[in-house]
Amino acid sequence: MDDPQTHAEEARRVWVVTKLGVLGLYRSQIPRMAAALAYRTLFSIIPVMVIGLLIFQSFVSDDQIDAGVRRVLDFAGITQISVVEQSSIEEVPDGADGGVGGSEDPFAITDGSGELEAVITDLIQRVNNSIEHVPAGWIAVMSAIVLIYAALSMLIEMERSFNQVCGAPQGRPWLKRLILYWTILTLGTLMLAATFFVGDSFAKWIIARAGADSWFGAVLAGYGVSVLISTALLVVAYTTIPNVRVRFRSALTGAFLAAVLWELGKWGFTGYVRSSTGYTKFYGSLALLPLFLLWVYLTWVIVLLGMQAAHAMQHFTKLVEAGIRGQRGEHTEVSLIDPLIGLAAARVLCERFEDGKRTTPSSLAESLGIDASVARNLLHALEDAGIAQEVARGEETVGWAPAMPAAKMVLGDVLRAVYRLDGFRGGDGVGRVPERVRSAVLQAVDNQTVKDLAASERAAKS
């Protein structure tokens, strides 16, 4: 017989998960970040196209470049944006018959997609002309700098937004950023072309298997392949851009969710544009611009939702348990981390310093297999105790370093610093660690240092 209490507990967990998801959307400020990314996209779209065309221009023809650009715009859903105009209603004289033969229907709907086609054609021609007529001298240098900055600015905003969603405290050093961004712009362009090629081959294989007249085969070859391409591109973005380790399985889940939502969004947005004439009434032919911005904004909302889903999947158990404790009225400030992890954190801090590296929350989290927010709290606790010190470049924190040599870093002092983060510090309540137990642990390590700890572990392995 089923236990009603068990069902009630499961229902509570479902409610908590749903509530945490809604609160996560609010706290992560996805709409604000999507708006910033939409602006950066508008600013960067031409420079990114120029860089992509520069890569392909050496080994493909102009016709292939034209077809490729149209394929990318079609894949992004931009070619589906069209202005639907309502014909103006002519004034009918009093007593005249409104149904005179040959008169146009005053409510006739005309499709303005031809305007977008002209805009795309003109855009491709302008980009090609800008590449063919590059100015010489210092003007060329300044143009190249502006071009590269404009192209990289979108990736900078992407990393900032992804880091905020994932709880990563800061970005990478600028040299690593530039290398990563340039790699994404160059190899990403080639990867996009490769995914289209594989997708087309897969679509042809599906149609050959299912038959040319198969409705299921046509849908799978169309939407299914688009979802696969989007998923592949988003997995790469989710695993490389954030300055925190995102597991492949979590990234794949978030990417697939975002890809499905994006395909549904294309279908829904196309239907909305075709059935709504409000934009045309106010903007006329300029309605393409707000519609384009709206679609870019919705696209970034979906991409950020996928990133948040990947982060939530990676830390699902911890987030749910913390939320359930909060729903029960328990003290959510009680931490589940073991204070002994502070010893491992101190050792990582010293070893990275000896290798000439700074320790960031992201690097510490990756070394210890913990969340970046927990790693950041550990570093702040060690800093407050005078064991670690912040390394800053100007007003920006770039990492932490030991405040003393490993031979003078006492393990007992490290534990005392981390005990401040521990919710189970001494007390008389049930479930609290008795003070005498904690004192015994501190007494056992008060005469040892981080250097001794590293030496003993090396001896144990040998």
- Per residue in 372-428, pLDDT (tens digit) is 778 888 888 898 888 998 887 665 667 889 999 989 998 888 888 887 776 555 444
294 and 415 in a single domain? The answer is no
Domain count of the fold of the chain? 2
pTM: 0.59
Is residue 324 one of the residues assigned to a domain? no
Domain boundary among 264, 297, 314: 314
Detail the DSSP E strand segments found in 334-430.
388-393, 396-402
37 and 185 in a single domain? The answer is yes
Is residue 321 one of the residues assigned to a domain? no
195 and 307 in a single domain? The answer is yes
Is residue 210 one of the residues assigned to a domain? yes
Cβ-proximal residues to 325 (8 Å cutoff; 6+ apart), any chain: 331, 332, 334
The stretch 25-31 carries a mean pLDDT of 75
114 and 233 in a single domain? The answer is yes
283 and 399 in a single domain? The answer is no
CA 451 to chain centre: 39
350 and 259 in a single domain? The answer is no
Predicted confidence band at 176 (pLDDT cuts at 50, 70, 90)? confident
Is residue 273 one of the residues assigned to a domain? yes
310 and 345 in a single domain? The answer is no
Q: Taking each helix axis as running N to C, give the angle between helix 435-445 and helix 411-419, from 0 to 180 degrees, rounded to the nearest 10.
A: 150
Is residue 373 one of the residues assigned to a domain? yes
Residue 218: per-residue pLDDT: 59
Kindly report, residue by residue over 64-80, the tens digit of the pLDDT. Answer: 666 666 666 666 666 66
Kindly report, residue by residue over 275-285, the tens digit of the pLDDT. Answer: 766 556 666 66
- Percentage of the chain lying above the pLDDT 70 cut: 53
Domain boundary among 296, 314, 332: 314
210 and 70 in a single domain? The answer is yes
Residue 210: per-residue pLDDT: 67
Residue 87's alpha-carbon distances to 111, 202, 242, 272, 287, in angstroms, are 11, 43, 49, 19, 15
Kindly report, residue by residue over 224-233, the tens digit of the pLDDT. Answer: 777 888 888 8
- Percentage of the chain lying above the pLDDT 90 cut: 5
Give pairs for 27-34: CB < 8 Å, separation 24+.
Answer: 28/164, 28/165, 28/304, 28/308, 29/164, 30/165, 30/301, 30/304, 30/305, 30/308, 31/301, 33/161, 33/164, 33/165, 33/300, 33/304, 34/297, 34/298, 34/300, 34/301, 34/304
283 and 419 in a single domain? The answer is no
Residue 346: per-residue pLDDT: 92
242 and 381 in a single domain? The answer is no
CATH code where residue 448 lies: 1.10.10.10
Q: How many angstroms separate the CA atoms of 75 and 67, rounded?
A: 12
Is residue 269 one of the residues assigned to a domain? yes
Give the pairing of strands 109-111 and 84-86.
antiparallel
Q: Which residue has the higher pLDDT, 194 or 332?
A: 194
**Domain residues for 261?**
23-87+108-314
Is residue 234 one of the residues assigned to a domain? yes
The stretch 308-315 carries a mean pLDDT of 80
Q: Half-sphere exposure of 10 toward its Cβ, with a 13 Å CA cutoff?
A: 6
225 and 347 in a single domain? The answer is no
Is residue 94 one of the residues assigned to a domain? no
164 and 228 in a single domain? The answer is yes
Residue 43 has pLDDT above 70, yes or no: yes
Q: Which residue has the higher pLDDT, 100 or 242?
A: 242
Q: How many angstroms separate the CA atoms of 241 and 160, rounded?
A: 9
The stretch 453-457 carries a mean pLDDT of 81
